[in-house]
Structure 1
Amino acid sequence: MARSAYAQPASPVRTDRGTEYAVFEKITARMVQAENSPRGVGQKAAAIHDNRQLWALLAGDVATEGNALPPALRAQIFYLCEFTMIHSRKVLKEGASLAPLIDINTAMMRGLRGEAEAA
């Protein structure tokens, strides 16, 4: 009994940052697949829907007073949410590329991993 209490957990414990990264990774992979798939709008629409939900949650979180991120970063995340919503409509209505949305999510994943911007 004591051995099992101190044994490795069956699944690794994720931090909030790790959970956010995993969600971005999953949604971004779906957008990449949709961008390269001949299956049509349905796959893109589903990936965009999930991406919009993610960004809406992020915008809601950074808009709260209790958010501990620096104000400038909060504003940038909120702006990226607005851009994501606008560009998502362009993808669905005008057939625009998903590439800008994929690039934004990829940059967010780099930030969550603590990597410096390479730009």
Structure 2
Amino acid sequence: MNILISNSSDEPIYLQIVNQLKEHIVKGELAESEPLPSIRNLAKELKISVITTKRAYDELEKEGFIVTVAGKGSYVAAINTEMLRETKVKMIEEKMTEAINEAKLVGLSLKELQDMLKLIYEGW
């Protein structure tokens, strides 16, 4: 599992961890019931506070992405398909927003952008 922390990001470190772990889970890179590193080990590996790592795991558990078993550790939760779909749709919306902002910067019209999207969607 590869988690990259950026100290120059506006996003808090715990959220960087949360978002990257969610992405690994949604993409299937972390399978259901797969154990996660312990809070202490992840903190040590990332060279961050144990409190920060705990906050990330707590957030992931609250959102239903992981489960924690006392004395055993944290594991990837069984994801219900509706939640998985919603998470993927949110990721797509974020990427589309980024693309729209770039398109506006170079002066593409909505029509040009729609045509481009249609071409890409249909496989050129």
In the superposition, the TM-score normalised over structure 2's length comes to 0.28
- TM-score (structure 1 length as normaliser): 0.29
More contact order relative to length (CA 8 Å, sep ≥ 6): 1
Higher helix proportion (structure 1 or 2): 1
Larger fraction in strand: 2
